[in-house]
């Protein structure tokens, strides 16, 4: 089986039994020197899919309030949001009594995002072939992503409580909102100068 096939098989297993897959992945003890490039890779893949979608899908009607982003700006925003999410999740988990490694929080964000990237590709196909199914699939993707995220956080920080894992997400969302607001303000200021 090819590496891509093994990856897809592991993603399916993640949806079916997220705790077991999480324990196996965390047990690898991957260092930050491997994980940060992996995060960059999923960001690039997501940006490429957005670019592809803008070509093959019907254009979205624009209004005066529509914000147009260049590929560079979108890449920086997505990379920034994911990085903020890693620190927010890890920090919130520590606040709630978690005992996980930062690397496991980073791996969690990478893996959930990788699953969403695959779902993003399927979404493009469904939007072209069956728009109604694409809406259903989008909803299912959001639910599955939350399901996987809760279980991975629970395993990463040894909560033994899905409730505390979910609360970690709630608390981290506040941090992400604050951090992303600062990030978007910074990028808007830079973009206004014509850097991107």
Taking only the tens place, the pLDDT of each residue in 111-168 is 999 999 999 999 999 988 888 898 999 999 999 999 999 999 999 999 999 999 999 9
Report which of 152, 183, 174 is spatially closest to residue 165, judged by C-alpha positions: 152
With 80 as the cut, is the pLDDT of residue 1 above it?
no
Beta carbons of 78 and 43 less than 8 angstroms apart: yes
The rounded percent of the chain whose pLDDT value lies above 70 is 87
Q: Which residue has the tokens 């005992």?
A: 99
The model's confidence at residue 30, banded by pLDDT at 50, 70 and 90, is very high
- pLDDT reading at 191 higher than 70: no
Residues 6+ apart with CB under 8 A from 105: 86, 89, 90, 93, 153, 156, 157
- Spatial distance between the Cα atoms of 168 and 96, rounded to a whole number of angstroms: 7
Q: What is the pTM of this model?
A: 0.87
Contact present, 182 and 83 (Cβ < 8 Å): no
Q: What is the mean pLDDT of residues 74-95?
A: 91
Q: In the chain, where are the structural domains located?
A: 32-55+70-192
- Structure-token pair, residue 24: 């196996």
């Amino acid at each position: 089986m090819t590496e891509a096939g093994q990856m897809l098989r592991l993603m399916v297993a993640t949806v079916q039994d997220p705790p077991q897959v999480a324990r196996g992945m965390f047990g690898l003890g991957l260092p930050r020197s491997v994980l940060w490039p992996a995060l960059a890779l999923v960001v690039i893949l997501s940006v490429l899919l957005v670019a592809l979608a803008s070509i093959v899908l019907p254009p979205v009607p624009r209004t005066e309030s529509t914000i147009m982003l260049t590929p560079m700006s979108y890449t920086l925003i997505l990379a920034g949001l994911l990085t903020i999410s890693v620190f927010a999740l890890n920090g919130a988990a520590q606040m709630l009594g978690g005992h996980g490694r930062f690397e496991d929080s980073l791996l969690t964000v990478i893996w959930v995002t990788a699953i969403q990237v695959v779902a993003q590709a399927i979404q493009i196909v469904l939007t072209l072939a069956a728009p109604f199914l694409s809406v259903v699939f989008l909803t299912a993707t959001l639910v599955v992503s939350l399901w996987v995220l809760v279980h991975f956080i629970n395993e990463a920080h040894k909560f033994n409580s899905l409730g505390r894992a979910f609360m970690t997400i709630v608390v981290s969302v506040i941090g992400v909102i604050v951090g992303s607001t600062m990030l978007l303000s910074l990028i808007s200021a830079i973009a206004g100068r014509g850097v991107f």
